[in-house]
Amino acid sequence: MGSPKKIMLFSAIALIPIAVTIAIFIYTSPEQQAKRIVESFYTYEQEGNFSDSWELLHPFMKEKFAKGSYLQDRAHVFMNHFGVTTFTFSLEGSKKIKNWTMEKDRDPIGVVYATTVIQTYKGKYGHFKLHQEVFVAKVEGEWVILWDYNK
């Protein structure tokens, strides 16, 4: 029988592939992939790169916002009206929802993942936070962003 040090070393080496497999599973889980696309979207918005953030919108969202209008509106409302040049943001949670609808007259989307985004602004009207639940779905193999328009 081996020494306790050799047994511990062997055990540690044997656990490495298990730990790597678990880490890969967690990193590539649909919840994490969805959360990463939300992070990418708001990083683009934070940088004022509204063209790239628009590209991450679901086709239903693109129907609501022509690209040119979106670029002008986002910059105008969030930056000019609020009197800020940028914002910080954080993400909270990720939950799977089945048969979610963006708005009343739309067909349900099979599966979406919901994440709460908290944007923090420091501007001419003081400091404030905007909380929004953001939804992510897969369309043609790509993760895309949706907002809730249900009333």
pLDDT tens-place values along the chain, 151 residues long: 567 776 666 666 765 655 554 545 445 799 999 999 999 999 999 998 999 999 999 999 999 999 999 999 988 887 777 778 788 999 999 999 999 999 998 899 999 999 999 999 988 888 889 999 999 999 999 999 999 998 7
**Domain range summary for the chain, segments of one domain joined by +:** 4-147
Q: How far apart are CA 50 and CA 75, in angstroms?
A: 8
Architecture of domain 4-147 in this structure: Roll (3.10)
The model carries a pTM of: 0.80
Rounded to 5 degrees, φ, ψ at 101 are -120, 140
